[in-house]
Chains A and B, each alone.
Chain A
Amino acid sequence: MNFLVIMGRLWGQYWKLFLSGLGMTLFMGFLTVLISSVSGSLMAMMRRSRWGIGKFRPFSAIAAVYVEVIRGTPILLQLYFFYFMLPQWLPFLNLSEFACVMTACCVNSTAYVCEIVRAGIQAVDIGQTEAARSLGLSSRQTMMYVVLPQAVKNILPALCNEFVAIVKETSLASTFFIGELMTQFKTINGITFRVLEPLTIVGIIYFLVTFVLSKLIAALERRMGAGE
C-alpha cells in the first residue's frame, strides 16, 4: 500500500517532469527515425550499388563495413564516442550535448534502417524486376515505379519497429542527463532518494508507449497485408 501511495504522491508532484521526459524521448526517437530514414536509404543505395572496379565495389563495401561495425558494437559505446569525440574533433561547431547524443543515435539507426530498406527491397519478388526490365524500363524506372512501391509495405512497419527500439535505447543517453525519460528518473531519485516508485512510473510509461505502438504497427501491417 505504501508503495502505491508514494507512487501517487510522486506522480502528483512530478508529473510534469515525467511527461517532459516522455516528450523528449519521443522527440529524440522521432527525429532519429526521420533523419536515419533518409541516411539509411542512401546507405542502402550505396550497399546495393553495383559500380566497381572489377569485382571490387567500393560504395557497397564501405556501406557493408559501416553496417557491420555499427551493429557489432554497443550503442552505449557509440554514445560515449560521439559525446566525447565530436566536441574534440569539431570544437568550432560548439555542439551541444544533445546534438552529440543525437548524432550517435542517428549514426546507429542509419545502419539498421539501411538493412531494413535492403531487406524490404529484396523481399519484392525478383520476377517483378525482370518483367519491368523485359519491357525496356531502366533499372531506375523499375525501382521507382515497380519495386519501391511494393517494398514500402515491408519497410514502413519495420521503420516503426525501429522507432520503438530507439525509444527504449535513448534511455542509455540518460548517462549524459539530456532530459529524456530516464534522466527524469535520475532527477527525481536525486531529490527524493526513492528508487522503486519513480522507476516503476518510468517503466510503466515506457511500457505503455511501446505496447501501444506495437499494437498500432501490427494493425498497420495487417492493413498493408490486406492488399496482398
Chain B
Amino acid sequence: MSDAMELIRVEDLHKSFGSLHVLKGVSEHIVKGEVVSVIGPSGGGKSTFLRCLNLLETPDSGHIFFEGVDITDKRVDINLHRQKMGMVFQHFNVFNNLTVGKNVTLAPVLLGKKSQKEADETARELLERVGLYDKIDQNPRKLSGGQKQRLAIVRALAMEPDVMLFDEPTSALDPEMVGEVLQVIKGLVKTGLTTVIVTHEMGFAKEVSDRVFFMDGGIIAEKGTPDEVFNHPQNPRTKEFLSKVLY
C-alpha cells in the first residue's frame, strides 16, 4: 500500500480509563475511499477506538497518523485536523441553541472555510439532499430522532471532511427511523468518501463495507472483507458474536 493512498494509520494504540485497559494495542490503516465497519460486543472498545481517531479520547500510548501527520504529537494543532474528520454520534448532539440551518453553517463560517453566504448556499443544498430543507429555520429540538441524525450528518459534511466517523448512528433511533438514516449514509458511501462506522446493523455492514473489523477485548480480533468476516469467520470469538447477533 503506497503512502499516498493511506488516510489513517494507527500504531499500537493503548487507552485506559483508570484501571480499565480498554484498548490493548490496536494497529491498523485505512485507505482513501475505503468503507470500514467496526463490529463487536458491547464494551469491546469500538467507541473508544473511533474517538481516539480524532482525539476526542487521548490515547495513553501509540500513534495516529492522519494524512501523514502524527496527530498524537503534542505540537500538532488538532483543531485543524479535526476540520477534515467529520463525526456523527449515537445521540446526535445537534446544537440545541442554534436553528437547523445554523447548525450546519456554524463551523464552516467560524473556522473561515466559507463566507456566511457560501455556507448558507451549501447548507441549503445539503439539507435539501436529506429532506430537511423545510426545517431550516426551526429549532432542532422539535425534530424527530431520524431528522436530528440526518442533520448531524449534514453538519459534519458541511466541513467537507476527508473521512467520516460514525459511532452507532442508528442505535438511539426508533426502528422506523433507522432506514432513513442508513439510506443517507449509503448515499454518502457511494460518493467515495472514506468512512469508518461502528454499527450493530450487520446487514448494513455487510452491504456497504470494503472491510470489517471485529473488535473484542480491546483489540481487533479479526478483520477482512465482509464475506470473510461474516461468512467465513476464523476466530471463535467472532463466530460466537455473529451467532448471537445474526440468529
A interface residue numbers (CB < 8 A to B): 125, 127-128, 130-138, 141, 145-146, 149-150, 227-228
Contacts and interface: CB of A to CB of B under 8 A. Distances in A.
Q: Which 7 A-B pairs have the closest CB atoms?
A: A136-B83, A127-B93, A131-B93, A134-B87, A135-B107, A149-B97, A136-B82
Contact of A135 (B96, B98, B139, B159): B159
A128 B79 contact: no
B83 A145 contact: no
A133 B77 CA distance: 12
B93 A125 contact: yes
B130 to A, nearest CB: 17
Interface in B119-174: 139, 141, 152, 155-156, 159
Contacts of B159: 135-136
A125 B148 CA distance: 16
A130 B95 contact: no
B89 A136 contact: no
A131 B152 contact: yes
Contacts, number: 66
A200 to B, nearest CB: 47
Nearest to A146: B95
A137 B141 contact: no
A141 B111 CA distance: 10
Given A136-B79, A136-B81, 14 more contacts: A125-B93, A127-B89, A128-B93, A131-B152, A131-B155, A132-B107, A133-B79, A134-B85, A134-B87, A137-B107, A138-B79, A146-B97, A146-B98, A227-B141
A118 B56 CA distance: 22
A136 B97 contact: no
B32 interface: no
B96 to A, nearest CB: 6
B141 A130 contact: no
B54 interface: yes
Given A130-B56, A227-B139, A137 B93 contact: no
8 contacts: A127-B93, A131-B93, A132-B95, A134-B56, A135-B82, A135-B86, A135-B111, A150-B97
B246 interface: no
B81 to A, nearest CB: 8
Contacts of B206: none
A131 B89 contact: yes
B110 interface: yes
Nearest to B107: A135
B178 interface: no
A135 B155 contact: yes
Contacts of A128: 93, 95-96
Interface in B77-107: 79-83, 85-87, 89, 91-98, 106-107
A136 B80 contact: yes
A133 B165 CA distance: 14
Nearest to A147: B97
Contacts of A135: 82-83, 86, 106-107, 111, 155-156, 159
Contacts of A145: 106, 110
